[in-house]
Structure 1
Amino acid sequence: MTGIELNKNLVIAIEASLKAGEVIMQVYDTAFDVEHKDDKSPLTEADKRANDVINSFLRETPTPIISEENKQIDYSIRKDWDTCWIVDPVDGTKEFIKRNGEFTVNIALVQNGVPQLGVIYVPATTTLYFSDTLKKQAFKSVLSAHNTSIEDVLKLASPLQTKTTSNVVEVVGSRSHMSQETLNFVDHLKSSGKEVTIVSKGSSLKFCLVAEGNADIYPRFAPTMEWDTAAGQAICSAVGVEVISEDTKQPLLYNKENLLNPWFVVAKH
């Protein structure tokens, strides 16, 4: 789709995500080692390499970076940032280790706590989602290679369209984290007379399912961090899908003192 004009920061984020995807797949195709961080979450060479690549692109901008794999900067400094990048170099490391392809590169630009631009790249399928929330534009491009030019990304782009109403409610469940609270949520939908089906996905692809019309709702009643959700929220927001905190009943905010998210529900409002 031509005629799309991209914010220069969005171009940088797309280029960073594609290059990160390339180095991730280089590791994916080898017998890689798995380490575990202090919080017991897994870490591979792909996380580290992708983080280095993304930082090399984003550090060309004047905007500071919050990344899962960077040393976390104290809130006494972060609180003065009106704009920042929020990055997860490999979202879905568990899926990466399982080699099921459901892992992503997440890059978002956040201003005053609100996601403005989002990129989610799926290296295993060379599928790219990107959005500009201010322009209310979100697109998907299925690429043939990681080194696709921005011009070709735009030629291949199709606008995301959310699902039209139907009798069946498609609920997104986590591939690795289905909690009892989520099961209770599904039971509540069923008890209200709705026919419910579960769609399982790993990583931030769960946001993409709702944004592109392949699901209705994604309840997340289990821990996530800001880097898990910022890019997905940017893509959803651009197409009228909201990511609503169970605590505040308002959209999730970013660059908080505590980078842990509250529980949330993703749905069209």
Structure 2
Amino acid sequence: MSKNDFRNTTVLEQPNKLARELGRICYAAGEAIMRIYVRPELWAASEKQDASPVTAADLAANRVICNGLAQLMPRLPVLTEEEAETAWSARRQWARYWLVDPLDGTKEFLARNGEFSVNIALIEHGQPVFGMVHLPVSGVTYYGSRYYGSFLQPREGEARKLQTRSLSWPKMDVVASHRHGSEKLQPIIEALQLAGAEVNHIPLGSSLKLCKIAEGAADFYPRLGPTSEWDTAAAQAVVEGAGGRVLDWSFRSLIYNQKPSIINPEFMVIGDLNHPWHEWLEPFVTKKLSESSL
């Protein structure tokens, strides 16, 4: 496919071609990451201004992705974690752009647990209309859109359609980070238990937490701590394509590129919306909102 094929298209017109082309880019970025992953002497980890780590693998994947996207859709802007200097005065003009985290889960990369990913999202008018999350270690790729569904592509074999699962109340699998906010999570667990839930806590890294909900392997993910827009956009598209939602604590969908800061509000991911989540979470949300108003 020539680089001009997507110049004037939308995700609704050529979703399969878009998935194939982004899959090639993600796979190439994953290979660049894995070449460094197996050789720790090449990691050369350092800290960014926000004290988060960056490695040679982040930078290598970023180069592959930026080059690939420039060939795929030459005129479309790219906002990536490793090149985030674009001024708000310019960025606010973008109706359509790529939002990229070349290596989501750098701490998981450094811990060698395999729970890191390559994330690419297409944003249109503040909404993630297509997303792809590639796991370099397993070779699994999640991709999708609210407009035509989400899929899991294994390293070998056919892709399968994703669907969030029905909640088997009172049993509830709750995914959360290995590293962030375990003490903050407890009041949410207590609110759910007060409502009668039998909570099973599953620790996971990177965007895998959202993808597991899209896959129907978990029910709920509360995030209480800082994330950036590139951390969530691709997986949000996958979750929404599978029937779930990514919401702030006022139950509004996360949106993108609407303010100078690229920091997300705290949020939650729900797989099965056909339950009284407002009621279950009300004790926690009420307390949270009252504290934020102080």
When normalised by structure 2's length, the TM-score is 0.83
Query: Which of residues 162, 165, 168 is equivalent to 1:163?
Result: 165
- Per the TM alignment, residue 255 of structure 1 is displaced from its structure 2 partner at its CA by 1.4
Query: Which of residues 146, 150, 166 is equivalent to 1:138?
Result: 150
Q: Which moved more, 1:57-66 or 1:115-124?
A: 57-66
- Tell me, in whole angstroms, the C-alpha distance in 2 between the residues paired with 1:63 and 1:7: 19
Counterpart position of 1:42: 53
Percent of aligned pairs with the same amino acid: 39
**2:146–2:237 CA contact under 8 A, matched in 1:** yes
Q: Look up the equivalent residue of 2:55 and give its one-letter code.
A: T
- Tell me, in whole angstroms, the C-alpha distance in 2 between the residues paired with 1:123 and 1:50: 11
What is the RMSD of the two structures over their aligned residues, measured on CA atoms? Answer: 1.3
**2:207–2:231 CA contact under 8 A, matched in 1:** yes
Counterpart position of 1:241: 244
Query: Which of residues 19, 29, 42 is equivalent to 1:10?
Result: 19
Counterpart position of 2:270: 267
- Tell me, in whole angstroms, the C-alpha distance in 1 between the residues paired with 2:118 and 2:199: 30
Q: State the Cα deviation string for residues 110-139 of structure 1 (Å, max 9, x = none).
A: 10000011000000111110102222x110
**1:244–1:252 CA contact under 8 A, matched in 2:** yes
Matched, 1:22 2:34: no
Q: Which has the higher contact order (CA 8 A, sep 6+)?
A: 1
- Tell me, in whole angstroms, the C-alpha distance in 2 between the residues paired with 1:30 and 1:20: 16
- Please give the secondary structure, in 2, of the residue aligned with 1:10: helix
Q: Which moved more, 1:39-48 or 1:162-171?
A: 162-171
Matched, 1:80 2:93: yes
- Per the TM alignment, residue 33 of structure 1 is displaced from its structure 2 partner at its CA by 2.0
Counterpart position of 1:59: 70
- Per the TM alignment, residue 7 of structure 1 is displaced from its structure 2 partner at its CA by 4.5
Structure number with higher strand proportion: 1
- Tell me, in whole angstroms, the C-alpha distance in 1 between the residues paired with 2:88 and 2:22: 24
Q: Look up the equivalent residue of 2:230 and give its one-letter code.
A: W
**CA radius of gyration, larger in:** 2
Q: Look up the equivalent residue of 1:28 and give its one-letter code.
A: Y
Q: Look up the equivalent residue of 1:51 and give its one-letter code.
A: N
Q: Look up the equivalent residue of 2:226 and give its one-letter code.
A: P
> Which residues of structure 1 form unaligned runs of 5+?
145-154
- Tell me, in whole angstroms, the C-alpha distance in 1 between the residues paired with 2:129 and 2:84: 24
- Tell me, in whole angstroms, the C-alpha distance in 2 between the residues paired with 1:84 and 1:9: 14
- Tell me, in whole angstroms, the C-alpha distance in 2 between the residues paired with 1:201 and 1:25: 20
When normalised by structure 1's length, the TM-score is 0.91
- Please give the secondary structure, in 1, of the residue aligned with 2:15: coil
> Which residues of structure 2 form unaligned runs of 5+?
1-13, 274-294
Query: Which of residues 227, 232, 238 is equivalent to 2:230?
Result: 227
Number of residue pairs matched by the alignment:
253
